[in-house]
Structure 1
Amino acid sequence: MVETTSGEKKKPSSSNTVLFASKWIETILKYRVQLVEVCKVSFDLNPIVEQTITMAMRDFINDKKKRSNIDAVNAPEMLSVYIDYFIKQLNKGSTTKDNSLKSGDQVEDFTNKSIQFLKFIKDKDAFEANYANHFAKRFLNSKTSLTNMIKGIDIEELVLGKLCDELGTSSLNKIIKMNKDIKSSKDLTHEWRNYVSNQKQSLIDLDLKICNVTDWPKSMTKDYKWFSKQENEATPFIWPRQLRNTMREFEEYWTTNKNNNNKSLYWSPKFGSMDMRITYPSRTYEINMSTYAGIIMLLFAPQSTNPDGSFVSAFEEKKELTYDEIAELTGIPELELKRHLQSIAVNPKSRLLIKVPMSKDVNNTDVFKLNEKFKSPSVKVKVLTVSSSSSASTAKVPVRTEQQEESEEVENNILEGRKLQVNAAIVRIMKSRHSMKHHELVEELIKQLASRFQPSMILIKQRIEDLIDKEYLTRDDSDRNVYHYVA
């Protein structure tokens, strides 16, 4: 946490988290190399010294105690952030200061470091939950569903394969299913483009991402029906007229050509992006922006035509829309609408629209129009979306941000998963032992779950009481510290 001059505590930004995670993990791994060298030179690789080093490092990495004014480090989350950052960098083809990441050997070196650090983490289930969240966001927010290859290596496949070797496929079942959706989306995109190339009518190019809603994080899929008019007639989301024909064509293709009559297809604008070619008075730009931002920009597309049937220039129409009008014409949720308007009408580098009056905040009385004077040194422009936390901070009423909701969901998933695992382990132990004292059951339970996580005494007691209520266990009549399994 960072403390401001006013005394308020401010959560570190995602960029700060990435920098901290990278520095923290790299420093620990370098320090481990030094300790191993000391053990080799001074102690001739004595097994007791090696074990002491390993235990000390594990205790330090998993220590959840707060030190002075520094918050405890969440090691499972930090490792997931670290891996997420490097995969994104690799997919961009960029380099880092210490490692150019140009060869397959260097890519594998990064994955080996990640697995090496994972071995020290006690709460493996917490890492899996955080990694699943990052894995999903990488795919849903990427510009393309097509696989990114680094020197012939699919980095996602490589990392997932290494994690499966370390944690087992059953532990990563949901991520494996998500990866299956990614592969099928890639194939479907190719098939759809081949189909479109043989059609006479002009359709918009789609890069498809079809996700089975039951396998993806709930924070990303919980409101997937909200954008369907049939499911949300009160305040419907309105897809732009320019997209509807292509959407209808794909729905028909997906249902009939792909034999999906028994499945429902829902479109979601929350993720993904749009590539839009806009001709300004100065030059034509190819602009990549979020789907929400693209939907807003399409409201300013020309509506009227010239005598020859061609569209009048959007800059000649000089259309102006208020915030309330944009909200009514799109149905975009308030927080999302405001942060995407900030991205395309406030940010100086991507000010595609002019906001009147000009200010950082977006208000209901603001008026928006196309920015005729927009200029960029590059023909290709990428609009960066303002974070939901930044947008929420300007709101008069406190708003739970997307990051907060995702963080809460991850924590809830971890807790619910642990409840099931503790219950299953208790039943498994008691079924084989029939009767056990409380301390014996606790010791055996901790031993069996050690490879997954460390259950707290509070959680163990709660799960024992839960199983007693469900009549899987009973207490001994003469000694309440003894449990009996109910066959």
Structure 2
Amino acid sequence: MSRAYLRLSHLFSHSWLQIKGDPFLQDSTEFYQREAATFINENPINEYLEWAFSKVVNRNAVTIAANSSTKSSELLALFTNIILQINNDVDNRNIEECIKDIMIVFKYIENEDAFQNFYWRLLAERLVYERSVSIDYEQMMITELQKKCAQIYTSKLQKMIENFNSKEKLMEEYQQHCKSQQSICNGMREKENVLCKSYKFSPKNIVSVDLSIMVLATNLWPFSIVSDFDLPLALSSSVDNFIQFYYHRHSKQKLIWLYQYSRGELHACFTRSTYILQASAYEIAILLLYNDSLEWTIQQICKKTRIRTDILIEVLYILITSDLLTCLQINKEDLRETNLQMEHIIRLNDDFTSDKICINLNKPLKTINKDTIKPIEKLPDGDYKFSTQAAIVRIMKNRKTLTQACLIQEVIDQLNNKITTDINLIEQSIEYLINKEYLKHNADDDNILEYLP
């Protein structure tokens, strides 16, 4: 017991306080740390501390200020995201300890469904942007959640990992396809023109670019589509080749491209030094236009690329503030996104210099995050389907056989301290689990349920 509370204290003071800086949590955890050490073998005290910690975790100055019953779930998911992404300043041994700490606090979270929803979105971003510190640690975290909440709680998360891992096999198959069609694609590589000293496509300036594609199952990931845009010719031929390959194997499936998450590298050769530009698909489409002309109006860029206007303005703002492009009508000191007008002329900055050879231009877009990430569901009282389903599976896994009435009562007793239970939701969850073959009705008595291992 003492070890658990010490860990909880550590987690509060080193994670939530870093995110929100709330002194209330620090004072509370210091108190509970002293109490846990003093009354380590006193069961009544331990029960009281369990109850008190639950109140501290779910109803504190942070949640009150946010006026949200899901704030604690959100903060715990955000801390988990910090631990499981690259550049987290945590060594591998401490990541395992942090996962254990997270699960201790998770025990006290009342809104487990909200945590699952926040975690689902953040996991998707880590995988798609390749920010995860390790798939093994991602799997470890999902396994720990499964131990606490049963398999149904983590089924979508587990399928996301499997979907992500299928990328390697898919690209190996595509490589073999390209090798069999040397005239279309040489291995995984295709000739692509880049920004060059003559600002034109030229054989002497051709370099090779790798193509890597991740195919995501629509029902697993929290992404939605942004309006389409025209890929540069150098990229569209590669995409068309992959589409032919994929539809030949999966004729009944439809590919919907999420270009807002696509990225690549360009070699900028128009300056004294050659720079490697890590750019989004939108940035690549814009920059490749400058192989044909040094100047474009925003209206012309919009017409050539068909990038949605609000996205185009935000992307151009990033490229101008990075000094690759300049707006002839606005000084850089006065530049604001709202100042850019469709008739303004955007010119390539041929005096561009940088201390870095590799320059990251691919920054998150506010417009994309707002439009393409499905919002976190606000769960009203009684709408806790994952928690309810997980509780049913836990109970039936232990009991094996139980009447439906007894099962409903045990679910209510188990969840009563955490959420307001709804009998209709429990009954719906039982039917759902029967359809998913977690449970079945007894052959002789429909009122008796049996667990299916």
1-structure distance, mates of 2:232, 2:143: 41
Paired residues of 1:181 and 1:211 also in contact (CA < 8 A): yes
Aligned to 1:118: 106
**C-alpha displacement at 1:142, in angstroms?**
2.9
**C-alpha displacement at 1:192, in angstroms?**
3.0
2-structure distance, mates of 1:415, 1:214: 25
Q: 1:414 to 1:126 in 2, by over 3 A?
A: farther
Aligned to 2:431: none
Confirm or deny that 1:289 pairs with 2:285. no
Aligned to 1:352: 324
Confirm or deny that 1:328 pairs with 2:303. yes
**C-alpha displacement at 1:189, in angstroms?**
2.7
Q: 1:386 to 1:270 in 2, by over 3 A?
A: closer
Confirm or deny that 1:238 pairs with 2:227. no
Paired residues of 1:35 and 1:53 also in contact (CA < 8 A): yes
Q: 1:424 to 1:167 in 2, by over 3 A?
A: closer
**C-alpha displacement at 1:277, in angstroms?**
1.2
Task: Calculate the aligned-residue CA RMSD, in Å.
Answer: 4.1
Supply the AA of the counterpart residue of 2:237.
N
1-structure distance, mates of 2:410, 2:341: 60
Aligned to 2:347: 369
Supply the AA of the counterpart residue of 2:215.
I
**C-alpha displacement at 1:24, in angstroms?**
6.1
Paired residues of 1:21 and 1:79 also in contact (CA < 8 A): no
Alignment of 1:67-466 (within 5 A): 74-88=71-85, 91-92=86-87, 95=89, 101-102=90-91, 104-142=92-130, 149=134, 154-193=136-175, 195-196=177-178, 199-200=182-183, 201=185, 203=190, 204-217=209-222, 220-221=223-224, 223=225, 226-227=227-228, 237-256=229-248, 259-302=249-292, 317-318=293-294, 320-345=295-320, 347=321, 350-358=322-330, 359-361=335-337, 362-385=340-363, 387-388=365-366, 402-403=369-370, 406=373, 409-412=375-378, 418=384, 432-433=404-405, 446-450=412-416, 454-455=419-420, 460=422
TM-score (norm 2): 0.71
Gaps of 5+ in 1: 1-17, 96-100, 228-236, 303-316, 390-400, 435-440, 467-484
Paired residues of 2:117 and 2:376 also in contact (CA < 8 A): yes
**C-alpha displacement at 1:136, in angstroms?**
0.9
Q: 1:162-211 CA deviation, whole Å, 9 max, x = no partner?
A: 22222222111111111111000132234434554663545241222110
**C-alpha displacement at 1:413, in angstroms?**
7.2
Paired residues of 1:356 and 1:366 also in contact (CA < 8 A): yes
Q: 1:85 to 1:52 in 2, by over 3 A?
A: same
**C-alpha displacement at 1:29, in angstroms?**
8.7
Gaps of 5+ in 2: 1-14, 191-208, 396-402, 429-446, 448-453
Aligned to 2:50: 54
2-structure distance, mates of 1:154, 1:422: 28
Please state whether the residue corresponding to 2:291 is helix, strand or coil: coil
Supply the AA of the counterpart residue of 1:373.
D
Paired residues of 2:324 and 2:352 also in contact (CA < 8 A): yes
Please state whether the residue corresponding to 2:212 is helix, strand or coil: coil
Moved more, 112-121 or 417-426: 417-426
2-structure distance, mates of 1:64, 1:51: 20
Supply the AA of the counterpart residue of 1:366.
H
Paired residues of 1:129 and 1:410 also in contact (CA < 8 A): yes
**C-alpha displacement at 1:366, in angstroms?**
1.9
2-structure distance, mates of 1:406, 1:414: 21
Q: 1:29 to 1:69 in 2, by over 3 A?
A: closer
Supply the AA of the counterpart residue of 1:169.
Q
2-structure distance, mates of 1:189, 1:121: 40
Please state whether the residue corresponding to 2:347 is helix, strand or coil: strand
Paired residues of 1:355 and 1:369 also in contact (CA < 8 A): yes
Please state whether the residue corresponding to 2:315 is helix, strand or coil: helix
Moved more, 129-138 or 325-334: 325-334
**C-alpha displacement at 1:60, in angstroms?**
1.7
**C-alpha displacement at 1:246, in angstroms?**
0.7
Aligned to 1:395: none
2-structure distance, mates of 1:19, 1:357: 45
Q: 1:67 to 1:247 in 2, by over 3 A?
A: closer
2-structure distance, mates of 1:454, 1:136: 27
Supply the AA of the counterpart residue of 2:313.
K
Moved more, 237-246 or 30-39: 30-39
**C-alpha displacement at 1:28, in angstroms?**
5.3
2-structure distance, mates of 1:300, 1:55: 64
**C-alpha displacement at 1:448, in angstroms?**
4.6
Number of aligned positions between the proteins: 378
Supply the AA of the counterpart residue of 2:287.
M
Please state whether the residue corresponding to 2:355 is helix, strand or coil: coil
2-structure distance, mates of 1:370, 1:260: 43
Please state whether the residue corresponding to 2:268 is helix, strand or coil: strand
2-structure distance, mates of 1:67, 1:432: 37
Supply the AA of the counterpart residue of 1:129.
N
1-structure distance, mates of 2:282, 2:67: 36
1-structure distance, mates of 2:101, 2:27: 10
Supply the AA of the counterpart residue of 2:296.
L
1-structure distance, mates of 2:210, 2:390: 49
Q: 1:415 to 1:264 in 2, by over 3 A?
A: farther
1-structure distance, mates of 2:23, 2:177: 48
Q: Percent identity?
A: 18
Q: 1:126 to 1:424 in 2, by over 3 A?
A: closer
Q: 1:424 to 1:68 in 2, by over 3 A?
A: closer
Aligned to 1:11: none
**C-alpha displacement at 1:377, in angstroms?**
0.8
Supply the AA of the counterpart residue of 2:310.
L
